[in-house]
Amino acid sequence: MKHIAFAVPGDLATLTGGYGYDRRVIAELQALGWRVDVLSLGDGFPRPTAEQRAFALSRLLSLPEDVPVIVDGLALGALPEEAEKIARRAPLVALVHHPLALETGLSPADVNKLFESERTALVEASLVIVTSPSTGERLNSDYDVPSDSITVAQPGTDRGAPAKGSTDGMVRLLSVGAVVPRKGFDILIAGLAPIADLPWVLTIAGDLTRDETTVNKLMTDIAEHNLIGRVDLLGSVPHEKVTALYSSADIFVLASHFEGYGMAYAEAMAHGLPVIGTTGGATADTVPPNAGVLVDPGNVKALTRALKMLIEDKKARAWFASGAMAAAAELPTWQSTARIVADALEELI
């Protein structure tokens, strides 16, 4: 039996896109006949303490020698010295969802520290799996990762039933993502404030525990713009609940500053939702022009115009919805994603 280890920071059950990718790839590799030993590296990433780094290293050193180990980039990028030690005893595979230094809200010192740390760690990887072509290009150009070491394995997307939408004249906006600076929820609220006279409500489904400052600012922004009662913060919700939210929505909107792929955008398209997003990172690779409207990250006025157009124009929503369903039909399945990963691992072995 083909055998690998898969190391993740924290709890694999965490409800984020990155952990969701890890879970599905692990499950599909197992379905393909691989033995996958899942290993938690503990908490604190991507800024672990010395004790947390030591714990992670001890966990990695407990793995059998010569068994390839995939390490999620959220952890690997913060373990440059440890990566060198692991690579001496087993093939090291990096899984990069998006470079750590591109997280929004970091100080210049933190950006430099994370950039150098991740670049150093990636040097030790025999194989680097990325979730989009644009991320692969960035690692090649900025992080000195050889192009022949990079495998693009875009996230799979489950096919969904077309969204039923609202029937009461109220346009239901849905946004899915953890409330952290990179997701741009402050920009979204600012974009909605000038069109408060239009018939819309917004639901935000995403973790409210990762960044207390950002969550508090979001709630303050909602109050200051007199949008209390128009915006519903659900926190983390299980997959079944998210599926129901897609089904009842009319428009999907996410004002991210950067996305390594944009799994929520893909899921929205799979439910036939017109998309409003940004051009940050790989989103333009995921969302074609006939599936939605993308604006520059942080451009509040452009976001307002896009929101106003789709909220007011039902025919435009239907046109983009049709394009979204067509685009979703071309997206990879999780089975095809895992096959790409498996092929790369077999070549490595």
What confidence category does residue 132 fall into, taking pLDDT thresholds of 50, 70 and 90?
Answer: very high
Please give the angle made by the CA atoms of 268, 128 and 74, to the nearest 5 degrees.
65
HSE value, Cβ hemisphere, 13 Å, CA-based, for 159: 8
| Contact yes or no for 235/210 (Cβ under 8 A) | no
pLDDT at 239 over 90: no
Mean pLDDT of 234-240: 90
**Tokens of residue 67, six digits:** 């068994």
Would the CA dihedral through 85, 86, 88, 94 be positive or negative? negative
CB-side neighbour CA atoms (13 Å) of 286: 31
pLDDT of 206 reads: 93
d(C-alpha 186, C-alpha 219), whole Å: 9
Query: What does the pLDDT read at residue 219?
Result: 97
- pLDDT band of residue 15 (cuts 50, 70, 90) is confident
Rg value, the chain, Cα: 20
- What pLDDT shows up at residue 163? 92
Q: What is the pLDDT of residues 157-170, one digit of tens each?
A: 988 889 998 989 89
pLDDT attached to residue 159: 85
Q: What is the DSSP string of 42-108?
A: -S-TTS--HHHHHHHHHHHHTSPTT--EEEEHHHHTT-HHHHHHHHTTS-EEEEESS-GGG-TT--H
State what percent of residues in the chain have pLDDT above 70.
100
User: Is-above-0.85 flag for pTM?
Assistant: yes
d(CA 170, CA 129): 42
Q: Determine the Cα–Cα distance for residues 39 and 25; give it in Å rounded to an integer.
A: 14
Task: Tell me the three state secondary structure of residue 185.
Answer: helix
Q: List the one residue out of 22, 20, 44 whose CA is nearest residue 129.
A: 22
How far, in Å, CA of 58 to CA of 38, rounded?
15
- Span 287-331, pLDDT tens digits: 999 999 999 999 999 999 999 999 999 999 999 999 999 999 999
**Farthest-apart Cα atoms in the chain, separation:** 63
Nearest to 3 by CA among 48, 61, 89, 65: 65
Q: Which of 31, 32, 41 is nearest to 5 (CA)?
A: 41
Residue 313 is which amino acid? D
Is 239 exposed, middle or buried, given 0-12, 13-18 or 19+ CB atoms closer than 10 A? exposed
329, containing H or E segment? none
Per-residue confidence (pLDDT) for residue 55, from 0 to 100? 97
Sign of CA dihedral 300, 305, 310, 311: positive
Is the pLDDT score of 80 beyond 90? Answer: yes
Query: Distance between terminal CA atoms of the chain?
Result: 13
Lowest mean pLDDT, pick from 40-44, 121-125, 236-240, 248-252: 236-240
Number of H helices, E strands in the chain: 14, 12
* Cα→Cα distances 347→223, 298, 304, Å: 55, 42, 48
